Amino acid sequence: MHTSTDLMLAHWLAVQGVKTRLSSYLMPLRGLSVAVATPATGVALTGHPVVVWPSLVAVLTFAALDGYYLWYERRYRALGDDVRLYRVPFLCMDTRRYAKRVRYRAALFSRTVTPVHTVMLVMLAISGVV
């Protein structure tokens, strides 16, 4: 017979699995932002500033996705806390209740997302002007 602690642990492990999967998407997005911005900056500095505009769009898109994945990771982190404290039904994976407490804007402008993409955007902006 399973105890409520066993069921809570299984539920918490399921939430942790989702959270881990979401966090694994963050670094590749930042790497893609660097991979797009760096060569575009080099090409722009050699006299072809037209490549800056598509690169700006790409870096902004990667920043938005980075913030989105971080937002969902934080929502699942809040769900995991409630699972641990027995505040949600067994195997409930719905994070809508945390959407107001965990804001997308806060994730997008967090200290883990903003610096990387801001550096890429500034680098592209400077190379497009020079």
Expressed in angstroms, the distance from the first to the final Cα of the chain is: 71
7-35: per-residue pLDDT in tens? 899 999 999 999 999 889 888 988 999 99
Per-domain boundaries in the chain: 4-129
d(CA 4, CA 40): 55
pLDDT in tens, 76-99: 999 999 999 999 998 899 999 999
> pLDDT tens across 107-129, in order?
999 999 999 999 999 999 998 87
CB-CB neighbours of 29 under 10 Å = 21
